[in-house]
Structures are given as structure tokens and as C-alpha cells.
A and B are shown apart, each in its own frame.
Chain A
Amino acid sequence: MNHHPKPETLAAYAAGALDEARAIALAAHLAMCVECRRGVADFEAVGGLALEALDGESMSPGALERFWSRAGLQEKAGAAPSFGGDIRIPEALRRHIDGDFDGIAWKPVSKGFSQAVLDAKGYRSGALRLFKIDPGIRMPRHSHGDAEFTLILKGAYEDELGVFGRGDFADLDGEDVHGPRAIGEEPCICLIATSAPLVFRGLFEKIAQRWVGV
């Protein structure tokens, strides 16, 4: 793996500040990347310091007594919270991350390029989708208006930033314009998280945008 999330992206994840789609894409990268899990754990430690730095807000009178009766009602033990990121990936997506791409309802967008929209509803929803790009096919050049995360699940692509293979994570700003081209022998399957619609350049791309529906 050569491309990783930026430190501020790992920190935003640790702070719980990413939207649902981006949080899922980042969690999927963390599932594959020990180094970034450690990075998230580091920024969670900053969260611990931030908690320590707060002046407490008084609990209402009798709060501790109410606590004990509440705790008494919930004696069953649960799982421990995970560290190095709260890995929480939808089951359907987990299969794809494990390399199982059967049963995806691909919708063709243009020649050699299809997509499948995934559910990423949360209180801060985003747009999450899978792209499948055949070898040699170039995506229309586009920017995003807002940050875009791309995680490669299978195959590889090349763009202005370099070569991206399985597990690589493109952490793009709104201003970045790129046009990835799938390379190698097999289709490139990647997971894309955005909050804002893609902005395609040029007429063909604008038509494509209508099909992508973003």
C-alpha cells in the first residue's frame, strides 16, 4: 500500500466528525491497514486529552443514585469498544472488502464503466458507491467541490497522483481534479465516498454525470 489517508482525516474519524459514507470508506481502509489503525488510536488519545481538558458540567442532584438503579437493570456484559478506530462496516460491504464481488447490481454508466450505489444513511449522510472500471478505460476528469475518498478494492488505476492498488486510499480535496484510468488485466473496483456531487468537465462528462446520477 502506497497511499494513505491524511493525518487530519484520521483525526476527523477519531473525533467522530466524518459523515456516514466517508466513515465507512475509512473504516474499510483501516480494516486493511495496521499503520492507519495505529494513527487513529493516536488521535483517539488526543480525544482523551480533550475530554480531560474540559471543566465538568454538574450532573443533576441524585444522578449517582439514578446511575446505580440504571446500572442494576443492565447487568449483561457486552463487547468491548474497539480501538484503533471503531471498525463498523456494513455486512454487505464487508464481503466486498474480503474480495467477494458476487451479487453486486452493477448499473452501466458508459462503455467499460459501471457503478452500484450503496446505503450510507446516517445523521450526516453521504454518497457511497462502488465503481467498476475496465482495464484501459479512463474516468471523466472531475473534481468534487468537497473531499472525496476512494478506496481500491480490486485491480488498480493510475491518475495524476500515481498508481493505486488494492487497499490504497485516495484522500482528495475539493479542488483536486483527476481522471483515473484502470490499468492491469482485471477491472478496477473501488469504493467512493463523497458528500457533494461530482463535477464533471466537458460535455461528454456532463452527460455521464446524468447517468451516474450524482
Chain B
Amino acid sequence: MAGAALRLVTNNENAPPSSGDVDTASLIRAVADRGDRAAFARLYGEFAPRVKAFLMRGGLGAVEAEDIAQETMVRVWRKARLFDPAKASVSTWIFAIARNLRIDHLRRRSRPEADIEEREEEADPAPLADEHVDRRARDARIREVFATLPPNQHEVVLMHFYEDEPHSAIAQRLNLPLGTVKSRLRLAFARIKRELEDLS
């Protein structure tokens, strides 16, 4: 069973929870503790171009994408103290900030007259009880499962997170029937869920 093999890997919970060889969580900590600009510049080098690429994959032009990537990094700088490694990895945190800014941007663009809530600036409407979740173990498992998805599922999952009109855009680009794309996504997400079942 795939699950049995994966369990070995997740014993290594001290592995850095983010990309490549840069320990991004300690860079954030340096920014939070002492406003370390050199540490921030490294984070910026790591993430600003990726966020820009993410936004361009979602259909934004280079200028818009760079502007929102800058804004994403402004949030990272300002909110570094609020980053909590128990809740998310650095890349997940930055992904969520960029995703929210993208949605706000698209909303504003489609309805310039509307009073659009700045979702990130609004007071936390209903602080949710912090249930006990071992985020680090779950993230390690997700990383494992994600890496071992069949290539055709891995591909559509990545595209699902990048494209702004996911299913139809993915189907068109890969020249596949819509149903095939949907079933690959369904299989991949069901597997991720299943592989996490024994974790808290």
C-alpha cells in the first residue's frame, strides 16, 4: 500500500517545510524579530518572481502581475510577525496571500464601482477555535503524496492551482475531454485526502 511507504518519510518532520535549500521559515523569523532586510531580500528573491509567474499563469499581464507580486511581498514584510509555522508553511502562507490578492484584483477589475471589501484588512470576523492539527506532519505527507502522484494527475493539479478558469482551460490546453480532466483531479484530491486519514 502506498500509505505504508509514505509513513517512513514523514518521520522526518524536521525537514524544512519550504522550497529548495533555503530555510524560509527562519528568514521570516529574522524579519519578524529584527526587521532584517537582508533576510527579507532573500525571501523576495525566492518568492516575488514565483508569485509573478503564478499570476501570469492565471492570465494577468506582466505589469499587473508584477504589481500584485509586489503587494504580496509588502504583506509578507508587514505581517511577518503574524506568520505562524504551526498553521502553514511559508510557501502556503504566501500562496494564500497571493491568491486572495488575485481574487480581489479581478473583482475590482470587473466591478470598479462596487464597494469591495479588502478581505485581508477586515477584522477577523469569527476567530475559529484552533483545533489540534499537526500541520507539519500533514504538510510533509502532502509533499510526499504530491510528488508520487501519477504524472498526468500531477500535471492537472498544478494547472488547477495556476489557471484562472481551471477545468475548461486545462482541458483545452491539454486537448483532453473535460470529463478526463475532472476525473484526474477527483482521483488526485481523493488520494491526498485518504493518505492523510491517520494524521491528526
Which of A's residues lie within 8 Å of B, judged by CB? 6-8, 10-12, 15-17, 31, 34, 37-39, 41-60, 63-64, 66-68, 70-71, 74-84, 86-89, 94, 121-123
B68 at the interface (CB under 8 A from A): no
In the bound complex, residues from chain B placing their C-beta under 8 Å from that of A84 are: 128
In the complex, which residues 106-142 of chain B have their Cβ closer than 8 Å to any Cβ of chain A?
Answer: 106-107, 109-111, 114, 117, 119-126, 128-129, 131, 133, 135, 138-139, 142
15 additional A-B residue pairs with CB within 8 Å, beyond A74-B74, A79-B122: A6-B186, A16-B99, A17-B164, A44-B92, A44-B95, A45-B88, A47-B92, A48-B89, A57-B62, A71-B73, A76-B78, A83-B96, A87-B125, A122-B107, A122-B111
A86–chain B nearest beta-carbon distance, Å? 6
A3–chain B nearest beta-carbon distance, Å? 16
Q: Complex: how many Å from CA A7 to CA B69?
A: 29
Q: Complex: how many Å from CA A34 to CA B69?
A: 31
Q: Complex: how many Å from CA A77 to CA B49?
A: 24
In the complex, the 3 A-B pairs of residues with the closest C-beta atoms, listed nearest first: A56-B49, A48-B92, A48-B91
In the complex, which residues 14-49 of chain B have their Cβ closer than 8 Å to any Cβ of chain A?
Answer: 18-20, 37, 41, 44, 47-49
Q: Are B53 and A55 in contact (CB under 8 A)?
A: yes
Q: Are A34 and B131 in contact (CB under 8 A)?
A: yes
Residue A71 contacts which of B62, B78, B91, B143 (CB distance < 8 angstroms)? B78
A18–chain B nearest beta-carbon distance, Å? 10
Residue B100 contacts which of A43, A45, A66, A86 (CB distance < 8 angstroms)? A86
In the bound complex, residues from chain A placing their C-beta under 8 Å from that of B99 are: 15-16, 47, 86
B196 at the interface (CB under 8 A from A): yes
Q: Are B49 and A15 in contact (CB under 8 A)?
A: no
In the bound complex, residues from chain B placing their C-beta under 8 Å from that of A38 are: 131, 133
Q: Given A63-B48, A81-B96, A121-B111: A49 and B91 within 8 A (CB)?
A: yes
